[in-house]
Structure 1
Amino acid sequence: MANPLDRLKRLPWMELLLNALLTALCVTVAEFILVILMRALTIVAQIAIVLLNPPLGILTQLAIGVGIGALAVVLLERFFPQVRIDTGTLWALIPCLIVALIARTLLPSPVSLISTSQITAVAILLGVFWRGRRYWRYWR
């Protein structure tokens, strides 16, 4: 009987972590651009207030998480072509993304519109597997 931890050891953890950090960097840049637009244009600020406050806040948070997960898979395909993407790699990408987003919140930032909550974590999971659905068949 094969050791189940062997598969876990052979995953490309360094590339996945670098991809997660790249994704967190892209999210941070997009967040700063949104904040600059909110300060420059009042209509953008009003729309953001409506979208980030209840009742639409939870749906917005869910949509942002799905977008982060999908972005991570796109960046993995684009910038790390040497990584063989399969179901195990997608599962390993999720904790890497969560760690990168938690590390992002620990850095001093003037504003943080994106929170790391359970809703965001589940949405990241949905986004990763929604965008990476063509890689599901390679399960071994």
Structure 2
Amino acid sequence: MVVTLVGEKLAKPGVEFIYYGPADPCKTCRLARVCVGNLEPGRRYKVLRIRNIEHSCPLHEGKVRVVDVVEPAIEVAIDPRYAIVGSKITLSFVECSDIDKESVVKPEGLFEGDIVKILEIVGEFECDGKKYKIAKVMREKE
């Protein structure tokens, strides 16, 4: 679990967001270490709990709230040979020319080479003549 700050409108349990990096005003903000310093660019986060603390912020319509976040499970297409629930694998994105499958072929929040644990298999699909499993995975942190 990570403590960070989010805009008041995003401060609701269950809300997911992707952190893309700090904005210019963040670089000189006294709260940057706890706000953006705890987040990794390109990762997806899910708000678990809202704490009863708020601060002013020039980016979020005036206020940010202190929240607890986690990296949620993400659905990703994997080679069926490695689709074993409970196993840990090094993520290798599959090749698929179908642009409509992009959200599971290369989902935002995961990077090629991440170590992930397969939590469950939620489906399958075919692309370019090959079958793939759609697995719900959780990134394992070093």
Category of TM-score, reference length = shorter chain: under 0.3
Higher relative contact order (CA 8 A, sep 6+): 1
Structure ranking higher in strand proportion: 2
Structure ranking higher in helix proportion: 1
Instruction: Give the structure with higher Rg (CA).
Output: 2
Normalised by the length of structure 1, the TM-score is 0.21
Normalised by the length of structure 2, the TM-score is 0.21
